[in-house]
Chain A
């Protein structure tokens, strides 16, 4: 598993710059446009300026985009045109290790993107508390969720266009409706339940608590943490099963 991870890490080091700018560009642009632009005309939400309100969620979204892209476009390239998966499976590495290695790598890439985003928040005038360190394991679990979802798509994809479904039907709705840009507490209770069932909603909610050390609703964290852990395990399991079905006849 770590051997598969290591291969991808080694390749990533070679293309560091393009990779980072590619994945971080969008969240930063949103932070600028919404935080500084729109934020000027939006009142405080839950006791935060609009910029403060959206910043932790955008960190979480950077993790999502980076992990999901790696496990779709990246993994699919290794699966199809490059034949890298096949080459790896000719060695003692088996399909389970290959799949988990790919997920682990996607999660790592997601975490790196999230941490860079988090570290640059002070430049925008947003100061995280010491509790923000707790976001590290949280964002990593989030990375596993979206890398696993991406790998599921890779396992059933027949070409790159297939990922358009994933982007427009999963990633973009998650980005818009997981409470990054508006408070889920403000929507009607039924809808709120539905939206809170999205894994990214839990991550955004917890990120916001940890980022500013607003731990008054800490009792919720146990439940939300369990939700995303279960989701991460379930998605990883499905990814392993589907990739096995694709690679081993």
Chain B
């Protein structure tokens, strides 16, 4: 049996916790060798989706296929081929670094001899070799995250799930994680990534899905999706709220998206707009820059804080 091209094929996935509907019909397809970024504010349903794939949450309805095999029957078989970097650090604090890898390998029924070889390789790759016998508590945040990633790779997974893999890391540690993840991508590892760092998603993902309130609200190539929906550039104008309101009216003849937040106006441009250029010369603070995934994310999901 040859495996289908789609590592993940999820259709119309729904999940409710009591009255709260967390997923309202999500479709996800993930091609072999690619990296899909799931974006969304807190509580959008990203982690629930991942937990469903891991069998830790049972969906209310929907069709799930992983490596072409249908859930729920295939869950156990499929999990031998999945590696996970969870959002919450759940390394085993009772064990040393190398023991963490070996005990985890045992859960996958990997023979000890092979597990030992792989553990050494991974410690090498993640620059943890000189600390192999240390207890987890002595590790820095970056080292813990690298060990979590190493642990996720102990079974040579065909699908790597990364749930906020660099959360809480300093820029240096994050950069090191990204380099390792990029190396894995070049080797053809299929990845499902959730993150709040748009830069991370732009760097790693070949495709993004933006989720909000349990629904996919946009998807596409991270490099073109911004331009397609928002525009190439964004102009930030600061000024009086009423004046900016008037300006929005004047801009109606141009092909632009606008967003007024207090005393700040964001204008997303697909092409040049003379009215805007003229108006900009009279404004005290104007910034013109390329539009980013972050702009798109904020435009689509709103700038209000999401807390339940």
Name 13 extra pairs, CB < 8 A, besides A10-B95, A94-B55: A3-B109, A10-B103, A14-B94, A83-B89, A83-B90, A90-B86, A91-B107, A91-B155, A92-B80, A93-B107, A248-B55, A248-B57, A249-B56
A32 to chain B: which residues have CB within 8 Å? none
B205 to chain A: which residues have CB within 8 Å? none
- Contact present for A247 and B99 (CB under 8 Å): no
A→B interface (CB under 8 Å): 3, 6-7, 10-11, 14, 82-84, 86-94, 247-249
Question: How many Å lie between the Cα of A90 and that of B75 in the bound state?
Answer: 11
B→A interface (CB under 8 Å): 17, 51, 54-58, 76, 79-80, 84, 86, 88-95, 99, 103-104, 106-109, 155
- Contact present for A90 and B54 (CB under 8 Å): yes
Distance (Å) between the CB of B193 and the closest chain A CB?
16
Question: How many Å lie between the Cα of A88 and that of B104 in the bound state?
Answer: 8
Name, among A84, A89, A90, A247, the residue most crowded by chain B CB atoms within 10 Å (CB to CB): A90
- Contact present for A94 and B76 (CB under 8 Å): yes
A90 to chain B: which residues have CB within 8 Å? 54, 56, 79, 84, 86
- Contact present for A92 and B56 (CB under 8 Å): no
- Contact present for A86 and B79 (CB under 8 Å): no
- Contact present for A3 and B106 (CB under 8 Å): yes
| Closest chain A residue, CB of each to CB of B51 | A249
B79 to chain A: which residues have CB within 8 Å? 90-92
- Contact present for A11 and B95 (CB under 8 Å): yes
Q: Which of A83, A84, A89, A93 contacts B56 (CB 8 A)?
A: A89
- Contact present for B58 and A249 (CB under 8 Å): yes
Given the contacts A87-B86, A89-B54, A94-B76, A82 and B108 also touching, CB distance less than 8 Å: no
- Contact present for B57 and A87 (CB under 8 Å): no
- Contact present for B17 and A249 (CB under 8 Å): yes
| Closest chain A residue, CB of each to CB of B104 | A91
| Closest chain B residue, CB of each to CB of A90 | B84
The count of A-to-B residue pairs whose CB atoms sit within 8 angstroms is 67
| Closest chain A residue, CB of each to CB of B79 | A92
B108 to chain A: which residues have CB within 8 Å? 91-92
A-side binding surface: helix, strand, loop or mixed? helix
Distance (Å) between the CB of B156 and the closest chain A CB?
14
Q: Which of B57, B76, B80, B90 contacts A84 (CB 8 A)?
A: B90
- Contact present for B92 and A84 (CB under 8 Å): yes
Question: How many Å lie between the Cα of A91 and that of B54 in the bound state?
Answer: 8
Distance (Å) between the CB of B86 and the closest chain A CB?
7
Q: Which of A3, A248, A249 contacts B107 (CB 8 A)?
A: A3
B58 to chain A: which residues have CB within 8 Å? 248-249
Distance (Å) between the CB of B178 and the closest chain A CB?
23
| Closest chain A residue, CB of each to CB of B91 | A87
Given the contacts A3-B107, A10-B95, A87 and B90 also touching, CB distance less than 8 Å: yes
Give 8 nearest A-B pairs by CB, closest first. A83-B90, A91-B107, A87-B90, A11-B94, A92-B79, A90-B84, A249-B57, A92-B80
List 7 A-B pairs, Cβ < 8 Å.
A3-B109, A6-B106, A11-B95, A82-B93, A92-B80, A249-B17, A249-B58
B94 to chain A: which residues have CB within 8 Å? 11, 14, 82
Name, among A14, A88, A92, the residue most crowded by chain B CB atoms within 10 Å (CB to CB): A92
Question: How many Å lie between the Cα of A3 and that of B111 in the bound state?
Answer: 12
Distance (Å) between the CB of A12 and the closest chain B CB?
9
Distance (Å) between the CB of B210 and the closest chain A CB?
24
- Contact present for A92 and B88 (CB under 8 Å): no
Question: How many Å lie between the Cα of A88 and that of B92 in the bound state?
Answer: 10
A92 to chain B: which residues have CB within 8 Å? 76, 79-80, 107-109
